Structure 1
Amino acid sequence: MTEKKMVMDIHERPKLNKWLLLSIQHLFAMFGSTILVPFLTGLSPAVALISSGAGTLAYILITRGKIPAYLGSSFAFIAPILAASAASGPAGAMIGSFMAGIVYGLVALLIGFIGTDWLMKLLPPVVVGPVIIVIGLGLAPTAIDMAMNEDGVYNGSFMLTALVTLAVTVIASVYFKGFFGLVPILIGILSGYAFALFQGIVDTAGIKAEWAQITEAGSIGEFFLAVFQTPEFIIPFVDYSPTEVFSMQILFIMVPVALVTIAEHIGDQMVLSKVAERNFLKDPGLHRSILGDGVATIIGSMLGGPPNTTYGENIGVLSITRVFSIFVVAGAAILAILFGFVGIITAAISSVPSPVMGGVSILLFGIIASNGLRMLTDSNIDLGNNRNLVIASVIMVLGVGGAFIEITNEVQIAGMALSAIVGVILNLVLPDKEKAGEAEELFDENEAPKEKRNIS
């Protein structure tokens, strides 16, 4: 089989017309997933777009412009954001995101000084795989509720819309090729939205209001003000006091998930290294890429957006186009920031009915769980080995079952966080740790990278 030749190297700059089109491709690839996370968690989709763009630009700077990766909203943090918001409001979720970003920075610092061996022992596939399964299955009730219920009551039109959206997304995922095969989520949302319009369950009042402001503008200045608007940022020391919002509860909710997503980040870097035929784990280094991911998450938390992570969808775009130009990725980031300030785009996103998002979520959350299973199989985890079976089983039942430990009346270690912590402890204390999976093969910087899907 003939390898596809590189069309554009990392530091090559395309001509302006091609530059714009190539950047728009990356924008479309990340758009559906990036807006879904804030839609599910009650955050602003516009802010999520802005924070993803700003986070990607920061990532490019920190990695010295050597890794053509786009960062978007992380699915792994959906449940923790919901839990943190329930405990301390949206501001609490932002504090939790900030602390998750700090964890990224600490891990990057440790890797820079002592390498990755400690991380391999702490988070082998036998621990990370089941936790990822918990992330996906734990979100399943949210997807089903959005798909078929209106204010907690079954709605047939909602369910039909969700099933149509799901069907189109599945068809696009399986049968579409090339670039269209990389944006099945966006295709599913657009198709579901069109079907929902025929069902009469789309509230277009916001779009009409924004359009009226644009068409009624009597000057260039009024037109500019009608098109570009400031989204609903949540800024520390302006909208809330971080010291008043902080709690140990939020710490226990967010930090364990950050450790799992760091392991996923390493997998992304391996896939990207293979696609680009470079070893990004060595140059610019895993510590820089993890730090970039953490800073992107901190930027999101300072604006009111969800944590960010490198996107498999955009790695897919790189693989197909063979255009690895960092300028193209940066262009997509700038476009995302601009989109976040366009009022009519924000209104259009906000008008998407919940069954449409529920329909795509059924597939997406299932894929997350399946990727955890894939990690176990790809890492040759032997579940016939009682040690491995015990670790995986305990993690999944604690996580999906919603177990929690109450430390004080206000502090709990619950669900996903508890399952991750218990999994790490079991892996460290049970004998025959070398049988927990070939963690060295997943993280060995000297070997060719092995393919691994991310969970966004």
Structure 2
Amino acid sequence: MNNKTQTVGINEIPRFDKWIVLSIQHLFAMFGATILVPMLVGLSPAVALVSSGLGTLAYLIVTRGQIPAYLGSSFAFIMPLIAAISIGGPEGAMIGSFFAGIIYGIVALIIKQTGVSWLMNLLPPIVVGPVIMVIGLGLATVAIDMAMNDPVTESYSGTHFTVAMITLGITIIASAFFKGFFGLIPILIGITGGYTFAYTQGLVNFSAVREASWIQAPDFLVPFVTYTPDLNWAIVFIMVPIALVTLSEHIGDQMVLSKVTGKNFIRKPGLHRSIFGDGVATVLSSFLGAPPNTTYGENIGVVALTRVFSVFVIGGAAVTAIIFGFVGKVSALITTIPTAVMGGVSILLFGIIASSGLRMMIENKVDLGEKRNLIIASVILVIGIGGAFIEVNDAVQVSGMALATIVGIVLNFILPGRQKQTINEDEMFKTDKENNEAA
């Protein structure tokens, strides 16, 4: 991957017309997934778009414009957000998101002083893999309910289920058979195709679009402006442990980007900066009323395919997302997407999340024939999916995914046979150079 194969370098500014097209391409790659998360948990998709744009710009500033990464709504926080909103409403969930972002900042400071090895010891594949599986499998009932039930009567509807299956089929076809850029946006293609079919079934109502203004501020949730924050430790204990899982995913994203671009981002600008950038983006989202942000695999795929590494292209996508958030008719159009369409997409998406956890263990050669690994994975899966929880004084509750993560970390440390896991930066960078020479 030498300079001759780069379409646009990391700090290169493309010609304006090309810049716009490339930025819109990145926006489309994250659009479907970013609006799906807030729709599933009951937050505003328009706010999520603005938050993802602002979070990405903040990330680019924190990383000194050296990492071409886009940030969007994190799927890992879907179940915690649903649980947090059920306890303290959207406002309470934002408090939990704020503390999750603070954890990113704390971890970034520790990494700056001590390196990254301790984090890899804390979160090895045998812990993170099953937890990621819990994220996907725990959401299975949410996807099926959305796909099968009429949201008005809350009972089975053959029409809605048909729409969901058509949406699922289109998404699968796009994922399996489409090539190039279109192969990177199967979620958006599935939603568009399912939406069109749902319209033919009378499930789409455009009245909200007709009534909406072209320019309209999203429904932000701003602390001390639209609400007074009320600290609820139960929500904090639900949200904060999930940051440990997304930290591991973040490291994986940085390693992939390093190999794609031929730059060692773990070393320069440093993992502490990229993690701190994620934390700043998540804190920003908590001040606006959006889901926590994280780096997006879809956009890494776009970077790998197009060889467009420019942070200015990423920044252009971020600015475009912010503008879209303030276009009232676009926001209203998003709200007209039937739940059956989102349910159909979610069936595949949540299954892929679960499979990603299994893939992580396979790629890292986790031997489930070893008793310690089998015990850790089994306990995490049952606690996480089964809905176990710990309640203290009827006030603080650690449940589901959060409890599974904590238990997995503890088991990994106390069971015999633990092997330390470290990132060898020199070896990783050597691999980059070898890949460049081969290319």
Q: List 4+ stretches of structure 1 deviating above 3 A.
A: 1-4
For residues 254-293 of structure 1, what are the structure 2 equivalents within 5 Å? 254-293=239-278
**Matching of residue 239 in structure 1 with residue 226 in structure 2:** yes
Shift of 1:3: 11
Corresponding residue SS for 1:241 = coil
TM-score by length of 1: 0.92
Residue among 439, 452, 455 paired with 2:421: 439
Alignment partners' CA distance in 1, 2:20 and 2:171: 27
Alignment partners' CA distance in 2, 1:160 and 1:13: 46
Name the counterpart of 1:143: 143
Corresponding residue SS for 1:309 = strand
Alignment partners' CA distance in 1, 2:231 and 2:57: 28
Decide whether the 8 Å contact of 2:36 with 2:342 is kept in 1: yes
For residues 126-137 of structure 1, what are the structure 2 equivalents within 5 Å? 126-137=126-137
**Matching of residue 311 in structure 1 with residue 296 in structure 2:** yes
Name the counterpart of 2:214: 227
Greater shift in the superposed pair: 70-79 or 147-156: 147-156
**Matching of residue 104 in structure 1 with residue 116 in structure 2:** no
List alignment gaps of at least 5 residues for structure 2: 433-439
Residue among 400, 404, 408 paired with 2:389: 404
**Matching of residue 351 in structure 1 with residue 336 in structure 2:** yes
Provide the alpha-carbon RMSD of the alignment: 1.5
Alignment partners' CA distance in 2, 1:88 and 1:239: 15
- TM-superposition CA deviations, 1:224-265 (whole Å, max 9, x none): xx31111100000112222xx211101110111001100110
Decide whether the 8 Å contact of 2:117 with 2:421 is kept in 1: no
Name the counterpart of 1:422: 407
**Matching of residue 249 in structure 1 with residue 234 in structure 2:** yes
Shift of 1:413: 1.0
**Matching of residue 53 in structure 1 with residue 46 in structure 2:** no
Decide whether the 8 Å contact of 1:427 with 1:433 is kept in 2: yes
Alignment partners' CA distance in 1, 2:313 and 2:364: 34
Name the counterpart of 2:202: 200
TM-score by length of 2: 0.96
**Matching of residue 123 in structure 1 with residue 110 in structure 2:** no
- TM-superposition CA deviations, 1:313-333 (whole Å, max 9, x none): 111111111111111000000
Structure 2 residue identity aligned to 1:235: V
Alignment partners' CA distance in 2, 1:66 and 1:380: 32
Structure 2 residue identity aligned to 1:201: L
For residues 383-402 of structure 1, what are the structure 2 equivalents within 5 Å? 383-402=368-387
Decide whether the 8 Å contact of 2:62 with 2:276 is kept in 1: yes
For residues 77-116 of structure 1, what are the structure 2 equivalents within 5 Å? 77-116=77-116
Name the counterpart of 1:12: 12
**Matching of residue 154 in structure 1 with residue 134 in structure 2:** no
Alignment partners' CA distance in 2, 1:24 and 1:304: 24
- TM-superposition CA deviations, 1:53-89 (whole Å, max 9, x none): 0000000000000001000000000000111111101
Alignment partners' CA distance in 2, 1:103 and 1:2: 37
Corresponding residue SS for 1:431 = coil
Shift of 1:301: 0.5
Shift of 1:294: 0.6
Question: How many residues end up aligned between the 2 structures?
Answer: 429
Decide whether the 8 Å contact of 1:27 with 1:336 is kept in 2: yes
Corresponding residue SS for 2:425 = coil
Structure 2 residue identity aligned to 1:53: G
- TM-superposition CA deviations, 1:363-392 (whole Å, max 9, x none): 110010000000100111010000010000
Shift of 1:353: 0.2
Alignment partners' CA distance in 2, 1:444 and 1:186: 37
